[in-house]
Structure 1
Amino acid sequence: MPPELHFILLLVLRMAIAAAFVVSASIITERSGPVIGALVATLPISAGPSYVFLALDHDAAFIAQGALASLPVNAATIVLGLIYVVLAQRRSLLVSCGSAVAVWIVLASIIRLFDWTLAAGLAVNLIAFGICIPLLARYRHVKMPLVTRRWYDIPFRATLVATLVAIVVSTSGWVGPRVSGVIALYPIVFTSMMVILHPRIGGPPTAAVLANSAWGLLGFGMAIAVMHVAVVWFGSAIGLSLALATCVSWNLTLWWNGRRATRKALRAS
């Protein structure tokens, strides 16, 4: 088989796997309400496949360096969420989503200019989340209306994530780990939720999903930090596995604490 055809077939397969993963998680999100949906949305369902495929093509040092660039980008994502949540209360999808994505692109463009350390990346996350989580709290409690899926929803989401994977995998060799780490963390899941749910159920319910995602996104940032350290010490396979375990454990803990708080409230009433 010619090398070019082999590359194309492998790229298409990777795109299909990542798209199927994200679409499945997005459907669960729609059916579970804003709280559970937010926990699912903050699992590494788009960045995870991108990093797995990067690990197949590059060594552990590349992945570790990419993780350092991804860590401050996670802080940019919570800022994206805050901007959308606030604007979506009264503004249109175009204004809310467009402004949020534009700010994310500006922040990501600034982030890629610097050589980040683990301490600096963690500090940026602590500052960003320390500001954004309290501001998002008032927008979390909105009842999620019934969502009727349209025929183009699944193809749209699949196309978004498949395109992201194709960009990350096909350009990583010449853009390097820093830019690859930035691109890999583009918030595909958040963007698709905005575009699909906002026109259908309105801004406030869609914003509630993103507002509830703040704590889960904080855990995602910790998972990136774990990935960087673990990849350096144990290699890409173990590093990626530990990062996934960190993210899943954190979100399960959030879910359990939420259930316990609900039970206490019911008993008190």
Structure 2
Amino acid sequence: MSLDLHFILFLLLRMAIAAAFVVSASVITERSGPVIGALVATLPVSAGPSYVFLAIDHDAAFIAQGALSSLPVNAATIFMALAYVVLAQRHSLLVSCGSAFAVWIAMASIIRMFDWTLTAGLAVNLIAFGICIPLLAGYRHVKMPLVTRRWYDIPMRAALVATLVAIVVSTSSWVGPRISGIIALYPVVFSSMMVILHPRIGGPPTAAVLANSAWGLLGFGMAIAVVHVGAAHFGSAVGLSLALATCIVWNLTLWSLARRARPMA
């Protein structure tokens, strides 16, 4: 087997694995309501596979450096969610999603201009979430209507994440860890939810899923920091494993707290 064919087949396998993760998470989100859906959406179902495949191709130093660039991008994602949530209450899919995407791209473009440290990345996340979480709180409690899946939903979601993985894996060697870390954090799950659910169930219910995701996304930011520290000191496998554990424990804690608060309410 030629080297080029081997690369293409391995790339296709990676794309398929990543797509399977995202599709599964999206289906669970649709059927579980905005709270559980938000917790599933903030698990590393998109960035996780991208980082695993980067770790296969690069050393731990590359992963640690990439995580430093990913950390402030997490702050860009929460501002993207805020822009969509506010606009989706009254505006169309085109206006709401287009503005949200523009916010993310603009902030990611600014982020790539700087060399980030762990302290600076954490500070940006704390400021961003300190602003956005209170603003999103009023949009969280909306009943999720029944979703009827259409034939193109799963192929479109699979294509989105597969394309992201293909870009990250195939360009990482020449764009370096900084750009790879930014691309890996593109919010594929949020994007697919907005594009698919907004025209079907309306803006406010779709916005409720993203509004409920704020606390979960904060835990995801902590997991990115864990990737950096873990990969730098113990290697990529340990860093990525600890980050996954961080996300799971954080989201399970949020779910437990939400269950306890419901009877009291």
TM-score if structure 1 supplies the norm length?
Answer: 0.98
Tell me the residue number matched to 2:224. 224
Supply the distance in 2 between the matched residues of 1:232 and 1:62 (Cα, whole angstroms): 9
Q: Which residue of the partner structure matches residue 242 of structure 1?
A: 242
Map of 1:201 onto structure 2: 201
What are the ranges of 5 or more consecutive residues in structure 1 without an aligned counterpart? none
What CA RMSD, in Å, does the superposition of the two structures yield over aligned residues?
Answer: 0.4
How many residue pairs match? The answer is 265
Identical-pair percentage: 85
Distance 2:196 2:89 in 1: 16
Q: Please list every run of at least 4 consecutive aligned residues from structure 1 whose deviation after the TM superposition is greater than 3 angstroms.
A: none
Aligned pairs for 1:76-115 (under 5 A) are 76-115=76-115
The separation in 2 between residues aligned to 1:249 and 1:211, in whole angstroms, is: 20
Structural mapping, 1:71-220, within 5 Å: 71-220=71-220
- Give the Cα–Cα distance (whole angstroms) in 1 for the partners of residues 113 and 244 of structure 2: 28
- Return the alpha-carbon distance in structure 2 between the equivalents of residues 260 and 227 of structure 1: 31
The alpha carbon displacement at 1:263 in A equals 2.2
How far did residue 231 of structure 1 move? 0.6
TM-score, with structure 2 as normaliser: 1.00
Q: Deviations over 1:27-83 (max 9, x none)?
A: 000000000000000000000000000000000000000000000000000000000
Q: In structure 2, how many angstroms separate the alpha carbons of the residues matched to 1:112 and 1:248?
A: 29
Q: Which residue of 2 aligns with 1:33?
A: 33
- Aligned-partner Cα distance in 1 for 2:95–2:57: 38
Measured in 1, the distance between the counterparts of 2:247 and 2:104 equals 22
Q: In structure 2, what is the equivalent of residue 58 of structure 1?
A: 58
How far the C-alpha of 1:113 sits from its partner, in A, is 1.0
Local SS of the residue matching 1:9: helix
Paired residue type of 1:101: F
Query: Could you tell me which amino acid in structure 1 is paired with residue 134 of structure 2?
Result: P
The CA deviation string for residues 201-247 of structure 1, in whole angstroms up to 9 with x for no partner, is: 00000000000000000000000001100111110001000000000
In the alignment, the residues of structure 2 paired with residue 263 and residue 168 of structure 1 have an alpha-carbon distance, to the nearest angstrom, of: 44
Distance 2:227 2:219 in 1: 12
In 2: Cα distance, 1:227 partner to 1:180 partner:
14
Q: Which letter does structure 1 place at the counterpart of 2:45?
A: I
